[in-house]
Amino acid sequence: MATEHLSPLDLAFWRIESAAHPMHLGALAVFTAAGRRGARAAERAAELLTARCATVPGLRRRIRDVLLPVGAAAWSPDPHFDPARHVFLLRTDEPLAHTAAGPLMARPLDRDLPPWEAHVLAGPDPDSFAVLFKFHHALADGLGALALAAALFDEGSDLRPPARPVPEPAPGSEQRAGSALRRLPGVLAARVQEVGQALEIGAAVARAGLPLGVPAALTAEASGTGSRTVAGVALDLDEVNLVRKAAGGTVNDVLISVVAGALRRWLEGRGDPAPSGPGPRALIPVSRRGRPGGGGNRLSGYLLRLPLAERDPLLRLDRVRAAMDRNKDAGPARGAGAVALLADHVHPLGHRLGGPLVAQAARLLFDILVTSVPLPGLTFSLGGSRVREVYPLAPLAHGQSLAVAVSTYKGTVHYGLVADAAAVPDLPALAEALRAELDALVREVS
């Protein structure tokens, strides 16, 4: 069997991880307990996850170093795979699953095992329970993690995409290629294009790399403990669409604008100095896969300044929309947000030796992560217990205090917030500020 090496980007995520800054994604799913027996339904969920995970090949593989290429790593079956080391049942007195999820998100995955875990949280509410899924970013991006998790749910939640034919090139397309590239061998031409793209992205990173207008609350320079806190809020998608239709733009534009406005409200509530300057740089990941399915990462991204200094909610939305339009016109393979593509130009040994340095440099690239994970229009269930809320959770880079992830499920927008617990002790206040900002936008357009 041929060795399956980690892709350059997967390898980068594997190498930049540290104990204080684990590189796993999370998803906190809140279930309505079947039969209104929360404790028993949670036990049943843990039993099903334990039985089903052994049947999913992608969840039985671990990562190991290889001799060649030097510095590379590859996937291999875990010969001693034990579901009990990946699925856990936790009984908690916490009324909110988010509270219990914080310490679990802080704990790195065992790097000697297949890099994922599922924690079933049985709380005091007899009508519900929760499951926190953790997948290392080297295993999958958001869509890939969704496909892996869906394989553990009840039948009917299969997200594997149907096979699609590869389109044939249009007649005459080769003749229309530029004369200079036409004279070069195909491999050399591709190499020239790749180097040119890398130089362009690098130059864009340098131009965008000034941390201007970044509130102190968004940095965690002094925190190396790896402590985490988690919060979430569910908002009405109909209200988001109401704003979109009245003000223009896309749903994603509105969701990003809500983050910007919530950050401003949150800072004001803390008594911090009024935001000024261009604003913090938000990295907006962009999936390069057409549909969910498969493992690994296929990511690029956009970079934009969140207009925190703008007081008017609709003007904030207008500025976000304009910035996103400029990013889309340039495309996800250009600009400072496409920095993930640079991983393809680094030798595996460079990832091994330079990973810790890259991890330390995250603050030079962006100030806050704002990512969206689209969910299909399916109803997920586990042992008959239905998922009613899904909060995506993103990893937190070194020197940054906050990461924001958002998903839409069954007509509801779910914001998942992960923060450095020492730098952001008041994360629930930010969650409420998200709700207040959407309310303000709705009032503006009503």
The rounded distance, in Å, linking the Cα atoms of 180 and 247 is 45
Pairing of β 381-382 and β 368-372: unpaired
347-365 tens-digit pLDDT: 777 777 676 766 666 677 8
What is the percent of the chain with per-residue pLDDT over 70, rounded to a whole number?
A: 78
| CA angle, 308 then 309 then 313, to 5° | 65
Quick one: DSSP state of residue 431? H
Q: Which two tokens stand for residue 84?
A: 């009990």
Mean pLDDT value across the chain: 83
Question: How many CA atoms does the CB half-sphere of 57 hold within 13 Å?
Answer: 4
Return the number of other C-beta atoms located less than 10 Å from residue 80's C-beta: 8
The rounded distance, in Å, linking the Cα atoms of 113 and 78 is 7
Determine the distance from the C-alpha atom of residue 246 to the mean position of all C-alpha atoms in its chain, rounded to a whole number. Answer: 29
User: Between residues 300 and 336, which one has the greater pLDDT?
Assistant: 300
Judged by average pLDDT, the poorest of 77-91, 189-203, 348-362 is: 189-203
45-72 tens-digit pLDDT: 999 999 999 999 999 999 999 998 999 9
Of 398, 436, 438, 422, nearest to 217 by C-alpha is 422
Evaluate if residue 159 carries a pLDDT over 80. no
Q: Which amino acid is at 46?
A: A
Of 170, 171, 169, 191, nearest to 181 by C-alpha is 191
Q: Which two tokens stand for residue 445?
A: 């357009």
Evaluate if residue 204 carries a pLDDT over 70. no
Pairing of β 73-77 and β 281-287: unpaired
Q: What is the pLDDT of residue 157?
A: 55
Output b/e per residue, 191-211; b: 16+ Cβ within 10 A: eeeeeebbeebeebbeebeee
What length is written for the chain?
A: 446
Global pTM? 0.87
Of 319, 285, 23, 278, nearest to 143 by C-alpha is 285
Determine the distance from the C-alpha atom of residue 233 to the mean position of all C-alpha atoms in its chain, rounded to a whole number. Answer: 17
Cis peptide before 69 (omega within 30 of 0): yes
Q: What is the pLDDT of residue 24?
A: 95
The rounded distance, in Å, linking the Cα atoms of 43 and 31 is 13
Q: Which two tokens stand for residue 78?
A: 């875990």
343 SS3 class: helix
The rounded distance, in Å, linking the Cα atoms of 144 and 137 is 10
Return the number of other C-beta atoms located less than 10 Å from residue 329's C-beta: 8
Segment 336-349 mean pLDDT? 66
Q: What is the pLDDT of residue 445?
A: 95
20-53 tens-digit pLDDT: 899 999 999 999 998 767 678 999 999 999 999 9
Q: What is the DSSP string of 410-430?
A: TTEEEEEEEEETTT-TTHHHH
Tell me whether residue 136 is exposed, middle or buried, using C-beta atoms within 10 angstroms of its C-beta: 0 to 12, 13 to 18, 19 or more: buried
Distances (CA, A) of 120 to 161, 247, 407: 28, 41, 21
Evaluate if residue 181 carries a pLDDT over 50. no
Evaluate if residue 172 carries a pLDDT over 50. no
Per DSSP (E only), the strands in 214-373 are 228-236, 281-287, 299-305, 368-372
Question: How many CA atoms does the CB half-sphere of 47 hold within 13 Å?
Answer: 7
365-402 tens-digit pLDDT: 889 999 998 887 788 999 999 999 999 999 998 888 99
Cα end-to-end span (Å), the chain: 62
